[in-house]
Amino acid sequence: MKPHDPYYAGPSDFEIDDPSSVVACRLPKPLHDKVMAACKAGGMSASRFVRETLQAAFDKGQVIIKPPSPVPAKMKVLTRDMHRLYASVSNNTNQIAKRVHFDHLNDRCSDKTYAAVAEQLAILNRVMVSRLPP
């Protein structure tokens, strides 16, 4: 068959110029079932079906790529290390708060100690928030 033949379905898996680029994705079960049914009806492999479907969508201008949601300005300044540090401190603060609360409920910690720790944690929270970029 030739490209001008109405039954020509595009190049076979062996006629592709550069078959070395691989793209893999997961599909929800209903979509996977539809793809496999279309492949069976068309007598083609899933790879070929996906290639031809994507090419047709690009050729017709039907592919819409949405830009990523904007990142808040203050988060752009935070580096990966700073973010990890804030997350670690927040996690540790939360563990301390839970433990003191548990101990206070079980009479292992006095009201005075409980109040002092709560005050220190509140101060630490204010300091961390104040150090975030504007």
**How much is the pTM?**
0.40
Residue 42 is part of which domain span? 1-65
Number of domains in the chain: 2
C-alpha span between 127 and 121 (Å, rounded): 10
13 and 53 share a domain? Answer: yes
Q: How many residues in total does the chain contain?
A: 134
- pLDDT value, residue 2: 47
- pLDDT value, residue 1: 43
The CA-atom distances, in angstroms, between 129 and each of 28, 89, 121 are 41, 12, 12
Mean pLDDT of all residues belonging to the chain: 81
Q: Would you say 100 and 109 are in contact if contact means Cβ atoms under 8 Å apart? A: yes
User: Once rounded to an integer, what is the mean pLDDT over residues 56-72?
Assistant: 82
User: Structure tokens of 80?
Assistant: 């990966």
61 and 81 share a domain? Answer: no
23 and 42 share a domain? Answer: yes
What is the tens place of the pLDDT at every residue in 16-45? 556 667 788 889 999 999 999 999 998 989
Higher pLDDT, 132 or 10: 132
49 and 98 share a domain? Answer: no
36 and 77 share a domain? Answer: no
C-alpha span between 42 and 56 (Å, rounded): 15
41 and 77 share a domain? Answer: no
56 and 6 share a domain? Answer: yes
- Name the pLDDT band for 111 (thresholds 50, 70, 90): very high
